[in-house]
Structure 1
Amino acid sequence: MDIIKSAKDLFDSEIRELQRVRDNLDENIEKVVELILNSKGKVVITGIGKSGLIGKKIAATLASTGTHAIFMNSAEGLHGDLGMISNGDVVIAISNSGNSEEVISLIPSIKRIGASIVAMTGNKNSPLGRAGEYVLNIGIEKEGCPLNLAPMASSTSTLVMGDALAAILIKKRNFKPENFAVYHPGGTLGRRLLMKVKDIMHSGEELPLISIDSNVDEIILTMTKKRLGAVCVMENEIMKGIITEGDLRRALAHKEKFFNLRAEDIMTKNFTQVEENIMAIEALDVMENRESQISVLPVMKDGHLTGIVRVHDLLNVVGR
């Protein structure tokens, strides 16, 4: 048995079925998106078995991207959990066959409650398909399973249909990274999206400040003492330039006059800077997405220096 070939065959089979589902998309997905956007209630995903497992993921994705969504196991719904559903909600009921008894049994009660029903099924002529106001067609011809029994391609198509809904709603709601961060405050992702430059910058006594007429000795001593890889050149509390370790190395090319140079002679006057309230991940882009990358960035507020941030500081937060 060629295991690698068998694995690739499975991938190819599911890709073909996904293409089939993609090609069958119609105006129903547009209507479902508008239904959700116009609803004053929440989205309730329901299903049983493998469809239920995929439904949990769809609900979680919607909830984390700005859509009020929950999952209700269809069997539990028959024994009291229907109380989760309210008038005005949108219920997305998942069943590939459209004949799952637990799902079908919920329909009369859901209609009495006053919620809308969207059928996510592979059989639009099934009881579920006929009961739905709109049908999201996840129909496939062949499962990836060698026996054509275990849900594989069908569960994949269900998952991707849910992702498609979430992606469209993200765009429709103009959902931004800072909105996403509100729902993901913990861990690396939360730090990446929530942390601002002012939260990690070096400030106060840590700042390496020199005057515009400081000599080379003062520049080197300050840079060595503060250990931030640069010094900020100040005049009357206004930052006039920056000197980095690279600037010093370039100045050494003129050995005959190096020790007679002043800060004003060495500094970069048109230096790149950021405001202290921008996100850390944005500051990293400023430092990296340029013709010549920089490793130290002055941080400003209303035209005044408030801190310095290093690429190392940002990488610790952003985690790239």
Structure 2
Amino acid sequence: MSPRFTPEQIDAWRRDGGVLVEAFFTPEEVAAVQADFGRVFGDAAGADQPLVKTADGQGGAFHAAQFRNLDSIPFDGCHALNLIGLHPALIAFARAALGVEEVYLYQCQAWAKYTGAADYDQPFHCDYLNHTLVAPSEDTTRNTCTVMCYFSDVTEGHGPMHYVPRPLSEPIAPPEATIGGPPEVAELHRRLAPHARSTAGPAGSIFPYSIDLYHRGTNLTAPGGVRYAVTACFKRAGDDSIAFTAWPFHHMKPWGQLFARATADQLACLGVPRPGDPFWTETTLARAQRRYPDWDLAPYRAALLASA
């Protein structure tokens, strides 16, 4: 168990569907990631006033502007941001939560929100619809562990995620109720809203949650408000029922910078065979080195020699 989280927090994640863990990342890690957010999105500040919600008081709606400053890793020259979703302590949390030794990172995105850039208010919903073609299991360890990581201080004025713990939402509606039309979604939001809790916390906090947890985005109302967040989604390795990002599809991104700095354990979370795997031969090692000249393949070569 990592010193950054406790067995009780793992139990809370499994029971409630989500748990807030403050001070997960160190101040030094937070500062490095904040600097990279500035490189990617610019050192912009939010407006003095939020955009006024145009929905009829039923919890907002989804629209493209909410996701304008959302992009997947890796980013050129942003080494801290590129690897923070693969932090060893995050991998350890996902392994403990899902009860497995091998996990796969199937989504990792940086998300910058600014007061006035959009109306970020959303209705309560579950995420499973765009993470699986089937349905969430009643065994939460067979679903996923999505981690919302905050890299700026998030108060109620900075758009924290709100959620309803599973023991409180289950008597109201099962996860599949998220599939309703506008009237049903509005009624679901009305019934869940009194039970909502906030994920507001200082920079360095994380909120791991499951794809069957009811949650919603909230608006930024703080003058000049900024919210920097990274989402890192883990699943059991080999679980083909869950997916989001096909990493090779983004082969034009600067993967060489990530490979040059990642450990074998981190790369395994992206689907790279570990040292000693039969995939690695003299030929595949040579081809991988040609693709990523700065990748230190010494552990992979040593394992191949040891098996010869």
Do they fold alike, i.e. is TM over 0.5? no
Please identify the structure whose Cα radius of gyration is greater.
1
Structure with greater proportional helix content: 1
Q: TM-score, normalised by structure 1?
A: 0.22
Q: TM-score, normalised by structure 2?
A: 0.23
